[in-house]
Structure 1
Amino acid sequence: MREPADLVVRSRRAVTPEGERALAVAVRGGAIAALRPYDDPPPARETADLGDIALLPGLVDTHVHVNEPGRTHWEGFDSATRAAAAGGVTTIVDMPLNSLPPTVNVAALEIKRKAARGRVHVDTGFWGGAIPGNVADLRPLHEAGVFGVKCFLSPSGVDEFPALDRAGLREALTELASFGGLLIVHAEDPDSLTDPTGPTYQEFLGSRTQDAERRAVEQVIELAAGTGARAHIVHVSAAACIEPLRQAQRDGVRISAETCPHYLTLAAEEVTGPAYKCCPPVREAPNRDALWQALADGVLMGIVSDHSPSTPDLKVPDFAAAWGGISSLQLGLPVVWTAALARGYGLSDVVRWMAQGPAALAGLPYKGGLRVGADADLVAFDPAAEFTVDVASLHHRNPVSPYDGKTLTGAVRTTWLRGVPVDYVTPNGRFLTPKPAGE
């Protein structure tokens, strides 16, 4: 390097796409300029030597409900992106609901961007929404820079974001196929869902069966194959979905799927209160084991938070009435690492699932990896540190989480966004749009 780097971060455990290496990562102009041996760092204006603390690429979370504008008292861009940075997440993509208005046309997208401008502490992109009657808005949303559009096949929980029926799903996929767009799908079959017969968790779990997920996933597979569109299943909770997805991927259907920390680390047998409620639900321990295997096999491409917060008054009094959503944006990395470590997985696996996979889904080749030319989004992560979750101390706006009081392994020490440490005061995040193919 001809001139001193802006920053060099050294670690004996730098997690690259090729595995853990002892490296000196040089940063210039917000990007990774060079990867050098740990003992041979280039000159730099600033240096940080992490020693045995791991250096990870910033995580990419493509499933975050920020809820601003309209329900900012549930979260908001300032608190959500501070929580993301504190959890080692340097890129989020915001869901089109539960904000008001939902992001189902370009005008609503601009309202959301205006609400977020100057308030994001990490880089931020946006999904659009596909609802009945807005198929003509899908191409304009794509052209305006959303990463794809989301639909529900069952009630979303908010009246302003209704579900698509089979005809609407086919229409949306056909339209998206015409310009190479992506449809992300909340896949539960409405005809297979029932109202809980009582207030307990087992009654709630029985109302949203694995078959409800599987049938919806099979419908998406069928219509994606028929239209040639690209589709993605969000928050897979049911092991029953794995084989249909595996076979579809083998058959060349353009379909992928994700899961979430809560489905990998919580179990129905240990649920204690409505803070655990989400849709689809947390299922039994053997089901959890199958999801881990599907990640290892590559059927599930990654782990994202589905951060879906609400105010405490909406998480009571019981499982029939409470809001269905889990708040976990700041905790996803230590939650997953704690469980991954116990199962014999390494930091490279966690980075593949929480950084590389989501970056690939969204088409962000400059995010999610320690490689020359990528954005210098870096995370100093102590993989041996233990802490007990105090939900009141998190950056999340509302202190509600099923992880409260749990002891976790792994702590984020510093997060750099494009080579600059996040200070949780100055919002230096940028808006992101998809990178065109070939660039």
Structure 2
Amino acid sequence: MSRKSSVTQTGPTKVEVGSEIMTVRSNRVVLDNSIGPADIVIFDGKISDVLPKRIWARPNLEKILDVGDLVVMPGIIDPHVHICEPGCPASEGFTCVTKAAAAGGITTIVDMPLHCNPTTTTLSALDTKIQFAKGQCHIDVAFWGGIIPGNQAELLPMLKAGVPGFQCFLMATGVEDFSHLSLHDLHAAMNELQDTNCVLLFHAEQEPSQWMPVQEDAVDTAEYSAFLGLRPDSMEVEAALTIAELCLQYKVPCHILNLSSAQALPIINDARQKGAPITVETTLNYLSLTSECIPPGGTYYKCCPPIRGKVNQEQLWAALKVGQIDMVVSAHRPCYQGLKDLDSGDFFKARSGIASLQFGLPLFWTSAKSQGFSFHEIVKLMCKNPAILSRLEHCKGSLSPGMDADLVIWNPERQFKVNKDIIHHKHKLTPYMGFQLYGKVFATLIRGRLVYLNGKFAPTAQGDLVVPEKKMPSRVVLPYY
């Protein structure tokens, strides 16, 4: 029997999307050490108290959102999202990305530095991006910087402007003004970033020393197996070896982005045991999709690193369960149909990237619930650990007094079908079309304000830009799981 999910709104003023909530009441509130009935009391955008529901009564003059048996959790934090503004008007900008995120229960995203123009590799480019984002964001947005050859002098100024870290690549990116780093560049960057509160993000693919690239004219490029041969597991293994060695030498916190190959995990685990401060993420795409199911010409499945086989996926889930993988992210990078080369179905020519941001929580829960994952594990993987990585754990990732009142309210028993009518991404092309998912999001709150409620959005953008101007982030110790 499914749980009831009735919602009541008390007080003289009806609770509407965009309004400020004073108390959220539920029978299933996910706190740090328990799940049960509670009232989350909100004052001035912060959680002022969390009280047992049975002893708490609010005056009728205050707005209460009573959601019955719906689950109330900290808002999802996604630290790996590509927003292609400014400079790429055909792609997604801040408004549509953050609306889609709000509909998915995400309350904070951290924007990646490439796929915009200019790329976020200088302080000037960061300022430009911030100016474009102002007034457009329906949820909170922070920003990563980028490291490219020759921009070492920009790193500390960007840190002082509020970026929590920098992304880099170990092999060609295909982006003209975001080149990959040589080993010499990496040593220079790590030396510059020692003794700062900074994390270095690695797109962890690197060409192995002994490797013959796939010849395009020798394979059918409409077959996914040909693309898989172009990006073998050995690329991620080689990158993991490089990152582990650098991290052990410099002790600068390193984070491996979108891990797809489980073969790299033993290297990462060994480095951690030796004292390397390494964290690692995997994505919804690798946990939800397998190479065996990708049809010929299905270029809308293309991402880098690639989606691998079923056995590899099972290994990723097992590693996630025992804490060898720290977090689950979307790596959301939408592409319009023209860039996916759908007419020819050529995996070698099609642009890489999958849209998944809006469906992150239900995608994860649909698979995780049958594997024994708890609500607390969801909070750890999708809220707490991403907050720590993004240097936001002082205000986000937990339903504790003093934290931002960022909440997702959702029904884990409710099933729905992904179709174009409910997708809020600008471009609707996604391999998840038609999926039946569990875990429908009912409401999303940012600092106590309803930004999304049952299919409707706040009339004005309520999100903040999480960029403390000209202030070095306070030093924290990043735990590794």
Q: Secondary structure at the match of 1:13?
A: strand
Letter in 1 for 2:301: Y
1:193: Cα distance to partner? 7.7
Q: 1:233·1:257 contact (CA, 8 Å) conserved in 2?
A: yes
**The 10-residue stretch of structure 1 (319-328 or 330-339) with the greater mean CA deviation from structure 2:** 319-328
Instruction: Give the CA RMSD over aligned residues.
Output: 1.6
2:460 corresponds in structure 1 to 426
Q: Secondary structure at the match of 1:34?
A: strand
Q: Deviations over 1:121-159 (max 9, x none)?
A: 111100000001111111111111111010011122311
1:214 correspondence with 2:243: no
State how far apart, in whole Å, the 1-side matches of 2:197 and 2:398 are. 25
Q: 1:65·1:307 contact (CA, 8 Å) conserved in 2?
A: yes
Q: Secondary structure at the match of 1:39?
A: helix
Q: Deviations over 1:8-31 (max 9, x none)?
A: 111111112214222111111101
Q: Secondary structure at the match of 1:342?
A: helix
Q: 2:299·2:340 contact (CA, 8 Å) conserved in 1?
A: yes
Q: Deviations over 1:242-300 (max 9, x none)?
A: 11111111111011110111111111111131111100001111111111122222221
Q: Which has the larger radius of gyration?
A: 2
State how far apart, in whole Å, the 1-side matches of 2:374 and 2:71 are. 12
- Equivalent position to 1:285, from 310, 325, 346: 310
Q: Secondary structure at the match of 2:54?
A: coil
State how far apart, in whole Å, the 2-side matches of 1:437 and 1:298 are. 25
Q: How does 1:68-87 map to 2 (within 5 A)?
A: 68-87=85-104
**Identity over aligned pairs, percent:** 38
Q: Secondary structure at the match of 1:211?
A: helix
Structure 1 runs not aligned, ≥5 long: none
2:136 corresponds in structure 1 to 119
Q: How does 1:245-256 map to 2 (within 5 A)?
A: 245-256=268-279
Letter in 2 for 1:243: P
Q: Deviations over 1:303-351 (max 9, x none)?
A: 1110011111111232121111111110111000000012121222112
1:392: Cα distance to partner? 4.8
- Equivalent position to 1:263, from 261, 278, 286: 286
2:63 corresponds in structure 1 to 46
1:7 correspondence with 2:22: yes
How many pairs align?
Answer: 435
Q: 2:411·2:439 contact (CA, 8 Å) conserved in 1?
A: yes
1:348 corresponds in structure 2 to 376
1:180: Cα distance to partner? 3.4
Q: 1:198·1:204 contact (CA, 8 Å) conserved in 2?
A: no
State how far apart, in whole Å, the 2-side matches of 1:375 and 1:118 are. 20
2:334 corresponds in structure 1 to 309
1:230: Cα distance to partner? 1.2
1:235 corresponds in structure 2 to 258
Q: 2:75·2:108 contact (CA, 8 Å) conserved in 1?
A: yes
1:369: Cα distance to partner? 1.1
2:301 corresponds in structure 1 to 276
**The 10-residue stretch of structure 1 (170-179 or 285-294) with the greater mean CA deviation from structure 2:** 170-179
Q: Deviations over 1:150-192 (max 9, x none)?
A: 0011122311111011111121111111423211000101345
Q: 1:186·1:234 contact (CA, 8 Å) conserved in 2?
A: yes
State how far apart, in whole Å, the 2-side matches of 1:438 and 1:158 are. 33
1:95: Cα distance to partner? 0.4
Q: Secondary structure at the match of 1:124?
A: strand
1:66 corresponds in structure 2 to 83
State how far apart, in whole Å, the 2-side matches of 1:58 and 1:72 are. 29
Letter in 2 for 1:296: K
State how far apart, in whole Å, the 2-side matches of 1:383 and 1:239 are. 28
- Equivalent position to 1:159, from 176, 191, 194: 176
1:198 corresponds in structure 2 to 220
